[in-house]
Structure 1
Amino acid sequence: MTETLARAPHAADDTRITICDPRSGELVGTLTPADADTIDDACERARSAFGSWSRTAPAARGEALAAAASVLEDHADELATLTQRETGKPFDDARGGVLAGVGTLRQYAELGPLHQGSRLAGDPSAVDYSIPEPRGVVAVITPWNDPVAIACGLIGAAVVTGNAVVHKPSERCPHVGERLGELLSPAFPPDVLRTLTGGGETGAALVSRPQVAMIAHVGSTATGERIARAAALTGAYVIRENGGNDPLIVDAGVDPTWAAQQAALGSFANSGQICTSVERIYVHDDVADAFVDALCAEAREWTSNGALGPLVDERMRDEVHRQLTESVNLGARVLVGGTIPEGPGSAYPATVVVDCTAVMPVFSEETFGPIASVQRVTSFDDAIAAASNDRYGLAATVLTPSLEHASRSAAELPVGTVKVNAVFGGAPGGSAEPRGASGSGFGFGPKLLDEMTRLKVVHMGTAEVAS
């Protein structure tokens, strides 16, 4: 997942952040980043609020979170419109992200009061048990590509378990982040949820503060690694879901048209700006020709039917195009797309590129854009080996009619999530841990409640009574 300091048309300097609509280039607004005093004040206020909030009954915390979810639902259209203006995400997709955030808040409102420790087996004459306790002030740092849903997951799990939160949303959608804070924070006691506006410098200052007991980060690997190094000095606990370079294996025997539809969805949804987007496609020779033809048709349709929104800004588009251009210079061939359209905004077409190899940027780097990069393989063994040879370990997808190959994929692919015969989807409540450069810890699902707390073990023996 990609994030960087804001630059034009999302421009930042020492005093202002300026956001322009990636569809038209029109000004959305400007904001002032938080200065050192503001960051200190937010952290200190959150630490002060933590004491009483952590002692609030879990059921009452759940009720507050449920109330926040209802407020957010009432403002879904407003936040969706603002998300569209700042990030370019199509309105229906943006609204779906807001409603996903509503659902996540309600889920944690129910699960939080049920979060519990355990009875331990010890001496029958004593009582031994463990209890989860909130960590303290949680610094939540979130990205722009699904700003409401991701923030709601981390904020919801943190506050319902008794923590206080200081949220630093992406500098690419600061108006969304500020408005989200304005809507959610009144549901809780003062200062339980604080929001800070700013870019990389603000985030770096926040995670270095001694009041911060935990950092929950979703964003780029480079930023996540800097956060981990900073936390090593402060002792803050860190969970992070970072970049991905997810492979898709198209096995022999699958319907090539269906496989192309899956590949297009994985590569082009949200204009390729999803941490679990399909980045590398390994297609078996037996179906490669028909698959590539169908994938090219899918790309043309995605570009022409209006389903493809712009990239978040011109800087992101320039980076995506750089990766493609360098890959072409190394021998890749563009079959569809691959050109920057004229006019305002930061649109980029759905693109299909073939003859890719591991040394090319479209295969070796996370490409946060609508590019489907394809390599032919002669066997499933070769596909598994190539898909596994990467420093990232977020997710992988395998399209196969073979139960044996499906089982091998689950056992052998070194990633947190393996998806068989569907690029997206999964049962509610699933929690996965990313591997390698993709991060560490559970960033969603019921297990996120465990991350937001630490266990205390209690041994209660029997006292001898004075005679």
Structure 2
Amino acid sequence: MPTTATETISQDTASGSGITIRDPRTGDILWTVPEAGPGAVDHAVEVARSATAEWAATAPAERGAALRSAARALDAAAQELAGLNASETGRPMEEALAGIAAGVSTLEQYAELGPVHRGHSLRGNRLASDYTVAESRGVAVLLTPWNDPVAVACGLIGAALVTGNTVIHKPSERCPRLGEALGEVLAPAFPPGVFLTVNGGAEVGALLSQADVDVLAHVGSSASGARIARAGALTGAHVIRENGGNDPLLVDSDVDPAWAASQAAIGAFSNSGQICTAVERIYVHKAIAEEFCAALQAEAAQRNSNGSVAPLVDLRMRDEVHAQVADALEQGARAVEGGTLPDGPGSLYPATVLLDCTDGMQVMTEETFGPVAPVQVVDTFDDGLRLACSGRYGLAATVLSGNIAHIQQAVAALPVGTVKVNEVFGGAPGGAAQPRGDSGHGFGYGPELLDEFSQVKVVHIAAPPATTPRKDQP
């Protein structure tokens, strides 16, 4: 049976069970969403494959117009989707709305960039033409996260669709109702089979990763990303990964300690620390360490007292965060704010500041997806930079300094995809990110993402040889 543009492929539940979501604030069950089984996954791939030729042949301007229509629909549904985000993940309503606004802007950006995505002319024989043509890859599977579910998904969806790929989107199992609703909002802007949504957890993600598709794009944990990369190596799918990070913040001796602490707090506590590019470990110069740590403690205490720290997405995440904090405390760290499990229902975890941290603690070596700011005091800027350059991740890093020599030294040395100087979050529109190490592979944002979803064909056209006219020709 043909799949309509608005169908969410979540039938054919393998076990009869579904995905049960609890309210992060109260712990109460909100709803259970059906999970796709193997048959539904196979059906989605078949339907998406059948729509590839016609969608790839659609004029880029028409694809861009469809994306603009999807952006308008998303904007109109902002309140409903933000409400679902707040319910399923605990994201404050204002922040959830901001994420949807970012998703709208991203769809509009790719609607403009897609039609002007171009190949290159090549220098060859002057009587020949040599150039490259960007073509769609085919069926793209997009596996997106829960921590900024609409904004992140729209980036991948927009770039994939405007370059002529068909899309199978699997939202995170931590926000399945939101993912389902997002599909219902966006899909009508496109022809049948071009944009499909499949709900499910790790098993469904594995089935999609092993399927006969052309692109696997994943934003999420490094462990999941590694499994997806291995699957892509076996199937031949092009893999794009933006995975976890252990982003350092390096605080130099010449900056204002209170300002530096405010930047650290923004980086560590925004969205309750549930951001891939959150500040995960802090190296502060001993010359300002005492004032910096006192100011950071005050920042955390204020957030805890005024209730601005939202709950973590679920109890499983809170348990993982607290286990890392407990490990640090057992190894000699001091929690000068937070660091304990609060009483009451839900999955709240307080903004936490850990002092006297050392290299071997998990909070300094692993991603801690919660509002935790671990601090290590260093004797020199060079010592801090050496520690900031350590580890298996390579997503982003931040440097707070007024010393241009130190800034240039850090930019050159840090083995990450993004270096931010004197601002933990920010950047120009259209900025791209290319993570390294266990943080992923390939461009995840910006105009370069169009290249990730395209394959290049080189064309050479030579003039035919001159021919002698036949006798019967004038």
**Paired position in structure 1 for 2:286:** 285
Q: Could you tell me the TM-score, scaled by structure 1's length?
A: 0.96
Deviations, residues 388-422 of structure 1 (Å, cap 9, x unaligned): 01100000001011011111111111100000000
**Paired position in structure 1 for 2:319:** 318
**Paired position in structure 1 for 2:188:** 186
Deviations, residues 189-239 of structure 1 (Å, cap 9, x unaligned): 0010010000000000001011x1011100000000000111111000001
Alignment of 1:316-465 (within 5 A): 316-464=317-465
Alignment of 1:211-290 (within 5 A): 212-290=213-291
**Paired position in structure 2 for 1:48:** 50
**Paired position in structure 2 for 1:5:** none
Alignment of 1:121-200 (within 5 A): 121-200=123-202
Runs of 4+ that moved beyond 4 A: none
**Paired position in structure 2 for 1:23:** 25
Query: In 2, Cα distance between the equivalents of 1:396 and 1:224?
Result: 21
Query: In 2, Cα distance between the equivalents of 1:274 and 1:167?
Result: 21
Query: In 2, Cα distance between the equivalents of 1:326 and 1:380?
Result: 27
Unaligned runs of 5+ in 2: 1-13, 470-474
Give the letter aligned to residue 236 of structure 1. A
- What count of residue pairs does the alignment treat as equivalent? 455
CA shift, 1:339, in A, is 1.1
CA shift, 1:14, in A, is 6.4
**Paired position in structure 1 for 2:206:** 204
1:98 pairs with 2:100: yes
Query: In 1, Cα distance between the equivalents of 2:173 and 2:151?
Result: 17
Give the letter aligned to residue 303 of structure 1. N
Query: In 1, Cα distance between the equivalents of 2:308 and 2:64?
Result: 37
Query: In 2, Cα distance between the equivalents of 1:311 and 1:425?
Result: 23
CA shift, 1:27, in A, is 2.1
Query: In 2, Cα distance between the equivalents of 1:13 and 1:48?
Result: 28
CA shift, 1:300, in A, is 0.7
CA shift, 1:340, in A, is 1.1
Give the letter aligned to residue 242 of structure 1. N
Deviations, residues 40-64 of structure 1 (Å, cap 9, x unaligned): 0001100111110000000000000
Equivalent of 2:34, from 32, 35, 55?
Answer: 32
CA shift, 1:15, in A, is 2.0
**Paired position in structure 1 for 2:5:** none
Give the letter aligned to residue 17 of structure 2. T
Secondary structure, counterpart of 2:357 in structure 1: coil
CA shift, 1:32, in A, is 1.6
Deviations, residues 408-441 of structure 1 (Å, cap 9, x unaligned): 1111111000000000001111112101000010
**Paired position in structure 1 for 2:7:** none
Query: In 2, Cα distance between the equivalents of 1:337 and 1:31?
Result: 35
CA shift, 1:26, in A, is 2.3
CA shift, 1:464, in A, is 2.8
Query: In 2, Cα distance between the equivalents of 1:42 and 1:465?
Result: 52
Query: In 2, Cα distance between the equivalents of 1:196 and 1:20?
Result: 20
Secondary structure, counterpart of 2:250 in structure 1: strand
Larger radius of gyration between Structure 1 and Structure 2: 2
Query: In 2, Cα distance between the equivalents of 1:13 and 1:397?
Result: 46
CA shift, 1:13, in A, is 7.4
Query: In 2, Cα distance between the equivalents of 1:250 and 1:462?
Result: 62
**Paired position in structure 2 for 1:6:** none
Query: In 1, Cα distance between the equivalents of 2:16 and 2:134?
Result: 42
- Structure-2 change in CA distance of 1:265 and 1:32 (3 Å): same
Task: Report which stretch shifted further, 216-225 or 302-311.
Answer: 302-311
Secondary structure, counterpart of 1:278 in structure 2: coil
Give the letter aligned to residue 383 of structure 1. G
Query: In 2, Cα distance between the equivalents of 1:89 and 1:13?
Result: 30
% same residue: 60
RMSD: 1.0
Query: In 2, Cα distance between the equivalents of 1:14 and 1:444?
Result: 38
Query: In 2, Cα distance between the equivalents of 1:333 and 1:37?
Result: 52
Give the letter aligned to residue 199 of structure 1. G
